[in-house]
Structure 1
């Protein structure tokens, strides 16, 4: 893994995500190297090699985090704030220490390392901490995201957050027909997740290599993703399932010739 140490001019980037004011990325790149990751586009501007082979570390992030901005902040959008290198560098922790605790902050990760910083989370007036859960195990996990922590460890982290009084959410993503078992995820987490957010795979942004991987190894899933009629039938069935299981869902994010957030009421 190539580690590139840099100094940034700012740590707060204006966000285009609806309802979010700033994104914070103290790291760029990710050791988890998920095959579908939407952040791979950043490689066009970072000539370090293929996605997953490098991590850029903004060594002055904690200092920059002192800047007072106001609004909702998301950590992170082009990296995982608790990827393995964080255990040693503690860059995320040091950045959080310096941030304005009056801002609303949302943190998303795939790592149980997140529970290390519960003491800091409790200093924020308003904070949500999410774990990405997608039920990938066995062959699916080995092909799609081989370097990520197990689903069990992620669910255990959600439970830990819940028990220690930190508002949490399950980010169910990417939802791939025939692979992501949404019903099982909800049954395993409904007593420990404060709320859910669902995201159907954005096949276009996942990239050509991932489309080929899906087509070769999961042809039935690929057929649903590329066929309009089958895709929207799948989405309707997903929404019906979420309603039937009666959990709090912020919405279902769908990408199909544009972006759509479908409310689940």
Structure 2
């Protein structure tokens, strides 16, 4: 699939965040070439007549200048894209945003790409920063079906290790957790030496969209049944909570989305 890059100028770059505990989100890109089948940001395509999700990326060319603004509170990069998706290697928009940002702002970055290690030198200029990798353990069939265009897990773990060894605070975002598919314990075993803490998120089936719901129901009927049956889901969640507590790692909690946004304390 050929990627279409649309250059746009934005009026502002900091958007009030709906993510609990985060005041601002910063998106220098909209859209993502990783095109994960379950992506919750696919809804953005409704307001942009660019074509199929994953076939286009909107780049806010004036983002670095807008990023100069000092805002009060923490900033999360990014909510509707991946800041280190493939087009970043050429455009370097994320890198320039980081260079222009007020280094007194607290910043949290989340990505699936090992390209993030390119900017370690800039990260170290921030007073308060953490960098996270989304690691979900998808390989083989699951990787081909759910996120065929993303970097493989080994590359993400290697990037996490490099970030940690450089002295940065790191975290692992274990998402999406799909019952009967995601091996949470295996992910933690592979990454615990390189992560300061973990955040766990169960698949938001509603936000993943109808196409992914059909894919999951046909290919993984037991997973679908657990996510859609309140009794089965409750049993699954209790087991997941116990599993995570038994791993004895620092964990922020479990995001479940079953009735809107929900956060389960561990």
TM over 0.5: yes
Match of 2:95 in 1: 93
Q: How many residues align?
A: 264
Segments of 4+ in structure 1 off by > 2 A?
A: none
1:70-95 per-residue CA deviation (whole Å, 9 max, x = no partner) reads 21000000000000000011000000
Partner SS for 1:259: coil
Gapped regions of structure 1 (runs ≥ 5):
none
Q: Distance in 2 between matches of 1:199 and 1:17?
A: 13
How far the C-alpha of 1:21 sits from its partner, in A, is 1.1
Q: Distance in 2 between matches of 1:68 and 1:243?
A: 38
Q: Distance in 1 between matches of 2:43 and 2:82?
A: 15
How far the C-alpha of 1:220 sits from its partner, in A, is 1.2
Match of 2:162 among 137, 142, 160: 160
TM-score by length of structure 2 reads: 0.98
RMSD after superposition? 0.7
TM-score by length of structure 1 reads: 0.98
Q: Distance in 1 between matches of 2:225 and 2:265?
A: 26
Cα contact 2:70–2:105 (8 A) shared by 1? no
Match of 1:38 in 2: 40
Q: Distance in 2 between matches of 1:122 and 1:257?
A: 39
How far the C-alpha of 1:260 sits from its partner, in A, is 1.1
1:1-265 to 2 correspondence within 5 Å? 1-264=3-266
Gapped regions of structure 2 (runs ≥ 5):
none
Cα contact 2:16–2:24 (8 A) shared by 1? yes
1:72-126 per-residue CA deviation (whole Å, 9 max, x = no partner) reads 0000000000000000110000000000111110000000000000001000011
Q: Distance in 2 between matches of 1:201 and 1:239?
A: 15
Q: Distance in 1 between matches of 2:58 and 2:261?
A: 29
Q: Distance in 2 between matches of 1:128 and 1:232?
A: 32
